[in-house]
Structure 1
């Protein structure tokens, strides 16, 4: 009776792990220490466009583009966590992948378990984000209106566009080294720039600003506070230079 129960539990565990293996959305391979495929799940077949029978016995180096075979994981390359590499489909297409590897016991011998995830969509999203950031950075940097972003807590400049560099006659590095916006902000409506350093604010105001050569500007500006990279910042745009004084 006890032996029958043990066999039942063993079969139940095997069924559970087989179900996980077969239904995983990630490709799973079992390979020996020479890199030969001992087992592969349906997702691995879909990833490479090969049947299970075609994958079994194939060396994993054949599933990787020739110029990326340094990514092939053997027993000496086992690492904690996730690494990125490349897989190749049966029609020669290169696919970026994330790989997790571990040493296991398989059919009474040591083997390597590889979990391989297609990260093509992640790469596309990252590329789209980089391109979007670049477009907005160009819109900021090349905008004819002087603009900057400063941190509300430290009051230091975070970003300054080219029009602001020309207007205030400071370089980008000089703005970055300023201890606070007070270096250029001489006066607002009530005599203090604190009026324009409140969170959750959209404000249109006039202010007196100092330039590097000591001259002053009376300007009309719009300030909008927002959260950027987990900190509250102020986006300031000079909409009009009312007058300039020596």
Structure 2
């Protein structure tokens, strides 16, 4: 196992120390008080992507030039705060968590949990010891859990079963309740009792004590202003990435559904029947908050959703449109002008199938409440021929450079009406990296080829391509090539080459 042999005849204990720690799973680095890095076991080298001690750097200063350390929040760590620098100042420390990467690399490679102590000889520092634990997998698992939990649109809380304290809360719950994050995290269930006014309080608390699932039940959720909100809650036992046993509580707001049902009953005679049986898919949402108040039979047939699964929720919660950007654009159009007509949109069914529709919306007032009435016309059949042709071209295309200008023009014509002379649509701001990726796409390069050309990871290239598609409104490489060709003079490269 690679290591530097620096023990001398007057330091036999140092040689013995090397033998003891060489095979440990934790990384160990030995540093002289003058800042020289004199020894490291194989685990410590592997945690830095090194095979030889020299790759760490001969001194602490050299290490600081070769490796960049960051705090877990992403902020760069000053070199004076590096664990090795702290040891050289005689500081001992415990449980310092840091991101470590080689200098000038795009992403952190490892997460280290470090601790350090000073060995004395005759009252003076003799050897500085840095112990490292590779926490990369544990923190990656925790980050994945955090990302999934926070991205869940359903309001949720997590209670640790060992002490019944709240350890996680997502934005959905904060929006639902009006509580602030620091008003919840760390508090006990006894302080903020979400089960105190549950319909089956005793049953819920008994199951919580056993760590068993708590079935759905209505409850009055306490709010920070002293009021309550009627919700539907349920509890699901789970294990956190740190192996702590927890209960995940999820909530559904019943107040909007109750208000929606009341409003629809009051207007049923003059509106509900026509709305419900209209042959065109229709959707009624509140203007304030964009919560779904009702849908008709044609809408349910188009999307394959059930009525109770949709009413009372937001389009974002059921992912009604192809992307959040499309949903926000629709909401913006209604907010700015009160209505729109002839807007092409991709509606997503319950199973994830995209249906191309022409959408129209109008602001209406029902029983004093401002609402948005939206209608959708399925034009999938009309688009099928266009999409089949583009798919066939894309399937055969290995390098876009062989496509003739005439074919590119025909593909552009299929995607929509020809632009007026001298116009290319709204300006889109692309980053320099996105321009480089787009230029390589127009040359027929795959994601792997682009990654190699730009010295990026394949996942990084895929993220750039996804953001690029979202910005320019493209759904495929062919559409991106057409978009770039129409704007070659603006992009600064020959997109038709």
Task: Calculate the TM-score normalised by the size of structure 2.
Answer: 0.31
2:137 paired with 1:138: no
1:103 aligns to what SS in structure 2?
strand
Distance 1:109 1:23, change over 3 A: farther
2:119 aligns to what SS in structure 1?
strand
Listed one character per residue, the Cα deviations across residues 116-164 of structure 1 (whole Å, up to 9, x for unaligned) are 4455x4135313312321212221xx13xx66667999899x8587489
Distance in 1, Cα, partners of 2:124 & 2:221: 72
Distance in 1, Cα, partners of 2:245 & 2:104: 46
Distance in 2, Cα, partners of 1:209 & 1:65: 58
Q: Is the 8 A contact 2:28 2:131 kept in 1?
A: yes
2:142 paired with 1:129: yes
Query: Pick from 79, 84, 105: which aligns with 1:69?
Result: 79
Distance in 2, Cα, partners of 1:210 & 1:74: 49
Q: Map 1:1-246; keep pairs closer than 5 Å.
A: 16-20=16-20, 22-24=22-24, 26-31=27-32, 33-37=33-37, 39-43=38-42, 48-50=50-52, 58-65=58-65, 69-70=79-80, 71=82, 72-73=84-85, 77-82=89-94, 84=96, 97=112, 98-105=114-121, 111-119=125-133, 121-139=134-152, 142-143=153-154, 159=169, 162=172, 170-173=177-180, 180-181=193-194, 185=198, 188=199, 193-199=201-207, 200-202=211-213, 204=215, 207=218, 209=220, 222-224=234-236, 233=247, 235-238=249-252
Q: Is the 8 A contact 1:223 1:235 kept in 2?
A: yes
Distance 1:164 1:81, change over 3 A: closer
Q: Is the 8 A contact 1:34 1:74 kept in 2?
A: no
Q: Is the 8 A contact 1:64 1:88 kept in 2?
A: no
Q: CA deviation at 1:102?
A: 0.9
Distance 1:197 1:113, change over 3 A: same
Match of 2:416 in 1: none
Task: Calculate the TM-score normalised by the size of structure 1.
Answer: 0.52
Select between 232-241 and 196-205 the one with higher mean Cα deviation. 232-241
Q: More helix per residue: 1 or 2? A: 2
Q: Is the 8 A contact 1:147 1:236 kept in 2?
A: yes
Q: More strand per residue: 1 or 2? A: 1
Distance 1:222 1:195, change over 3 A: same
Unaligned regions of 5+ residues in structure 2, if any? 1-11, 69-77, 263-497
Identify the structure with bigger relative contact order (alpha carbons < 8 Å, sequence gap 6+): 1
Distance in 1, Cα, partners of 2:222 & 2:17: 70
Distance in 2, Cα, partners of 1:22 & 1:124: 23
Report the aligned-residue RMSD: 5.7
